[in-house]
Chains A and B, each alone.
Chain A
Amino acid sequence: MKLLVSLAWRSLRNRPVTSLLTVAAVALSITLLLGVEQARRGMRESFTGTIKGTDLVVGARGGTLQLLLGSVFGIGSPTGSVPFDVYEQWSRHPAIRWTVPLAIGDSHRGYRVIGTTPGLFDHWRYRSSGRLTFAQGRVIATAGDVVLGSEVAERLKYQIGTDVTVGHGLNAVAGLGDHEAHPFTVVGILQQTFTPLDRALFVTLDGIEAMHGDEGSAGPGGAPMMPGAAPPPTGTVALPAMPGATAPPVPTNVFQDQPKALSAFLVGTRTRFETLRLQREINQYKPEPLTAVIPGVTLAELWKTLGTIEGGLRLVGALTIVVGLIGMLVALYSSLEARRREMAVLRAVGARPGMIVSLLVLESGLLTLLGCAAGVAITMGGFALAQGAIEANTGVHIAVQPPGALEWIYIAVVLSAGVLVGLVPAWRAYRSSLADGLSPRL
């Protein structure tokens, strides 16, 4: 066997151009197939890992996907506004353990500014129960404080003590509509999380209110107007008491100068069992039309929608592999004619017909193996190189990972197919070696 592998390897090296082109064809096919799979897995893990430990995301009535993407992932705008008193009312619900308000609508040099409370830094989890930690500084405490996501600090080269002026709108251009009267001062910088939080700035609700309070440009209720967002309700909403509500505790995460409306709020329930019931309760809440989504369920809907596209890409990858293998078959088959003398010599010096078959199958197997190895290397190397650009352009962090179980199955299938493809020229070589004897006959 060692001799045959050595012969196959040297034979391939003797035809470097054909061998390299065949390996390249298989490698590119594998790259496409694995690339789609890695991107799919990476995207799902990135999205799923962004928000852990949050049972519900609640916002104004609207599309569930828009609510989740706009409020958590920084993609698009949230569905509208939730009056602050409605938020306060739900915060006291006995099934709710904690809430974190989110006021989204301003930006700084292309990065989102999120008005929230220090509770965000306590309750937000990402990946496998990862807690937000500070690379420098502390949490927001006053109306003038701002905490930066890691990418914001790195790209803009901001440090503790840097003054930051926030612009109005999610796509604010520097200098246009800046709330210059209320600059913020950087008091903390978060560690990298590989989530959209890295690309956000965090201020207190007081800060949001103070920023918009004087200029009268804020939306009704003081909340920032989001482009395309439905106008938030005006006036005071008469809220019924929450079922089972006890004496109204003052949420520890509510500041004195809170705005009159929010974009959304995150909810952690006391028990997971209550999440579904609470979701139904919020969605059926009459005084204020609200939408509550379970992040995992909504993401599953997103994956279902994207499944068709992924399937199409997989099909393209599979077809590319078929093309690559046919190319290898053509290369091996067409070289056989020139190698009939070689086969005759091998037979004359003692090679059995089975050895001739094995040699050809080993050659195709080696070509496929090299193609697969190169494909895996190109895929992983490509993602490692493109990781930053993908994250910068799409906000999705795709971790470079070795092939998973499904990818190994793909590779095994391709390797098997490569060996099977080698059987075709091998069979012909076998027949030729028997018919030719020691002198190839044309």
Chain B
Amino acid sequence: MTATPDAAIAIHDLAFSYGTGPRILDIPGLIVARGSRVFLHGPSGCGKTTLLGLLAGVLHATTGSLRVLDRDLVAMSGAARDAFRAEHIGYVFQQFNLIPYLSAYDNIALPCRLDARRRARLGRVPLHDAIHDIAGQLDISPLLQQQATALSVGQQQRVAAARALLAAPELVICDEPTSSLDTDRRDAFLALLASSVARAKATLLFVSHDASLGERFDHQLSLPALNRAARAEAA
């Protein structure tokens, strides 16, 4: 596959299975442009989280090509993928995605504290100021010193979003972050996420099993349609 400089994500004949188990993913091709907001949907068990694990470099594909932000993740070592993820990717889980024994402030600060290059993305802005800035944008400033376990689910999701967006990573991956929110909170969260990503000029890959959310994004993708392994299983 030829390099695609404007692509945030470029996949060609990517296949993955856990150990010697059955093939979970088999994607012939996928291009996600930089700065776009992409909605990826599919039913539970179709391989959404596995794909996100591969895109984040936590899982390692050995077959096919996977380029993220113009880096070849298949060729990278585990340590290099870890460093790449820490520096360039923000990640929001579906729930329980805060470290329970840390405050909201410390949870948000974690990526910058764990990785000096992520910290360096802040430039001359002190970490403390950056945290308060993003907390202000997400309306969680009064919650910063609270223990993560003392926050409501909606508050936790906003703290998780602040953590993912801190230091403006180029790629933000969200794994069903609204699945446990009621409709009002879901809509508010999506609006916040969209504006924050736009401000950071980041690429957003939003995954959900709820296809009705798709119209809020630039592009919609169906993983079962992309994934030959899912199609083969269904057949």
| Chain A residues engaging chain B, CB cutoff 8 angstroms | 3, 7, 10-11, 13-14, 341-342, 344-353, 355, 434-435, 437-439, 441
The verdict on B211 contacting chain A, using a C-beta distance below 8 Å, is no
Name the one of B18, B96, B175 contacting A435, with C-beta atoms under 8 angstroms: B18
Of B7-15, B26-34, B45-53, the one contacting chain A is B45-53
The verdict on B91 contacting chain A, using a C-beta distance below 8 Å, is yes
Of B109-117, B126-134, B137-145, B186-194, the one contacting chain A is B109-117
The verdict on B99 contacting chain A, using a C-beta distance below 8 Å, is yes
Contact B78 A349 (CB under 8 A): no
Contact B114 A3 (CB under 8 A): yes
Chain B min CB distance to A337 (Å): 14
Q: Mark B53-91, 1 if CB is under 8 A from A, else 0.
A: 100101100000000000000000011001101110001
The verdict on B100 contacting chain A, using a C-beta distance below 8 Å, is yes
Contact B97 A345 (CB under 8 A): yes
- A215 to B110 CA separation, bound complex (whole angstroms): 91
**Which residue in chain A gives the minimum CB-CB distance to B103?**
A10
Chain B min CB distance to A347 (Å): 6
* 8 A-B contact pairs sorted by A residue (CB < 8 Å): A345-B98, A346-B99, A346-B114, A348-B93, A350-B110, A352-B82, A434-B78, A438-B53
Contact B49 A3 (CB under 8 A): no
- A435 to B19 CA separation, bound complex (whole angstroms): 9
Contact B175 A345 (CB under 8 A): no
| Given A344-B93, A346-B114, A347-B58, 4 extra CB contacts under 8 A | A346-B110, A437-B50, A439-B53, A439-B175
Chain B min CB distance to A1 (Å): 12
Contact A350 B101 (CB under 8 A): no
Q: Mark B161-192, 1 if CB is under 8 A from A, else 0.
A: 00100000000000100000000000000000
Q: What is the total of A-B residue contacts with beta carbons within 8 Å?
A: 73
The verdict on B118 contacting chain A, using a C-beta distance below 8 Å, is yes
Chain A min CB distance to B79 (Å): 7
Known contacts: A13-B101, A346-B99, A348-B56. The answer to whether A438 contacts B111 by CB under 8 A is no
- A439 to B98 CA separation, bound complex (whole angstroms): 14
Q: Cβ of A352: which chain B residues have Cβ within 8 Å of it? A: 79, 82-83
**Which residue in chain B gives the minimum CB-CB distance to A355?**
B114
Contact A349 B111 (CB under 8 A): yes
Contact A437 B110 (CB under 8 A): no
| Chain B residues engaging chain A, CB cutoff 8 angstroms | 18-19, 49-50, 52-53, 56, 58-59, 78-79, 82-83, 85-87, 91, 93, 96-102, 110-111, 113-115, 118, 163, 175
- A7 to B50 CA separation, bound complex (whole angstroms): 28
Known contacts: A3-B114, A438-B93. The answer to whether A350 contacts B52 by CB under 8 A is no
Contact B99 A437 (CB under 8 A): no
Known contacts: A11-B101, A14-B100, A437-B58. The answer to whether A353 contacts B78 by CB under 8 A is yes
- A120 to B111 CA separation, bound complex (whole angstroms): 76
Name the one of A14, A341, A353, A438 contacting B101, with C-beta atoms under 8 angstroms: A14
Q: Cβ of A349: which chain B residues have Cβ within 8 Å of it? A: 86, 91, 110-111, 114, 163
Q: Cβ of A11: which chain B residues have Cβ within 8 Å of it? A: 101
Chain A min CB distance to B107 (Å): 9
**Which residue in chain A gives the minimum CB-CB distance to B114?**
A350
Name the one of A10, A341, A355 contacting B102, with C-beta atoms under 8 angstroms: A10
- A349 to B83 CA separation, bound complex (whole angstroms): 10
Name the one of A346, A350, A438 contacting B175, with C-beta atoms under 8 angstroms: A438
- A203 to B169 CA separation, bound complex (whole angstroms): 92
- A3 to B99 CA separation, bound complex (whole angstroms): 14
- A355 to B110 CA separation, bound complex (whole angstroms): 13
**Which residue in chain B gives the minimum CB-CB distance to A435?**
B18
Known contacts: A350-B86, A352-B82, A438-B91. The answer to whether A10 contacts B101 by CB under 8 A is yes
Contact B58 A438 (CB under 8 A): yes
Q: Cβ of B113: which chain A residues have Cβ within 8 Å of it? A: 3
**Which residue in chain B gives the minimum CB-CB distance to A341?**
B96
- A11 to B149 CA separation, bound complex (whole angstroms): 13
**Residue among B19, B85, B87, B96 with the highest chain A CB neighbour number at 10 A:** B85
Contact B79 A438 (CB under 8 A): no
Q: Cβ of A14: which chain B residues have Cβ within 8 Å of it? A: 100-101
Q: Cβ of A345: which chain B residues have Cβ within 8 Å of it? A: 93, 97-99
Contact A437 B49 (CB under 8 A): yes
Q: Cβ of B114: which chain A residues have Cβ within 8 Å of it? A: 3, 346, 349-351, 355
The 7 closest A-B pairs by CB, nearest first: A350-B86, A437-B53, A14-B101, A350-B114, A348-B91, A439-B49, A437-B59
Contact B85 A350 (CB under 8 A): yes
- A352 to B86 CA separation, bound complex (whole angstroms): 9
- A437 to B58 CA separation, bound complex (whole angstroms): 5
**Which residue in chain B gives the minimum CB-CB distance to A3?**
B113
